[in-house]
Amino acid sequence: MATTHPTNLTHFVPVEEYLNTTYRPDVDYVDGEIEERNLGEFDHADLQTEIATLLRNHQKDWGVRVVAETRTRVSPTRYRIPDICVLSAVLERERIITHPPLLCVEVLSPRDTLKAMRKRVQDFLDMGVKVVWIFDPETRIAHVCTASAMTEHKRGTLRVEGTKIRLSIEEAFATLDD
C-alpha cells in the first residue's frame, strides 16, 4: 500500500486506487474525488473520544460494537469516515463497513459547517442509517438527524429508537470542562 499525503485533490481517482492507498489522515471518497476531513484539534478529539468511550462502555449490554474513524461504503462510489459508528454486534466484522450502522456520530471541527455536514449526513441516511448525531463542541448543541428532520438538543438524553442506545448530552459535553 502506498502512503500519500494528497496534493492534488481535484483529479479523478478510481475507487480501487482510493481503497489501496493510505492517506494520513484518512479522507472521504465522493464520486471519484478525494475530500479531506477537518480534524486534529483538541476539543474535537476530546469530545469524540468521550462519546466513543461512553457508548463503548455499554457494548455488551446493548449488543453493539463501537468503532471510530472507519471507512464506510455509503454507496458504490462514495466512502465516508464517520467520527464514530455504532454497529449491531450480530453483523460480521468488515474491513470496510458496508452494512448500515445503527448510529453515526459526527463532531464538528471549527472549520466545519452544518451545511457541509448535511451532505455527509445525507449519505449516511441514504445508506440506511436511521439516525446521525452531530455534536458541536463550540455551541454545546447536539443535532439529531433522521430522514425527516434535524433537531437541536442542548440537554437531555439522546436515544436510538428500537435499541438500547442512549447518551446524556450533558455527560458527553462535560469532558470539555475538565
- What pLDDT, on the 0 to 100 scale, is given for residue 169? 98
H-helix or E-strand containing 85? strand 84-88
The distance in angstroms from the start CA to the end CA of the chain is: 40
Task: Say yes or no: 26 and 59 in one domain.
Answer: no
pLDDT, tens digit (0-9, with 9 covering 90-100), for 64-82: 999 999 999 999 999 999 9
- What pLDDT, on the 0 to 100 scale, is given for residue 111? 87
For CA atoms 154, 157, 160, 166, the dihedral sign is positive
pLDDT, tens digit (0-9, with 9 covering 90-100), for 123-159: 999 999 999 999 999 999 999 999 999 999 999 999 9
Q: Which domain holds residue 5?
A: 1-36
CATH of the domain at 71: 3.90.1570.10
Selected residue with higher pLDDT from 7 and 150: 150
Task: Say yes or no: 141 and 74 in one domain.
Answer: yes
Listed residue (157, 177, 152, 151) closest to 169, CA to CA: 157
Contact in structure between 37 and 54 (CB atoms under 8 Å)? no
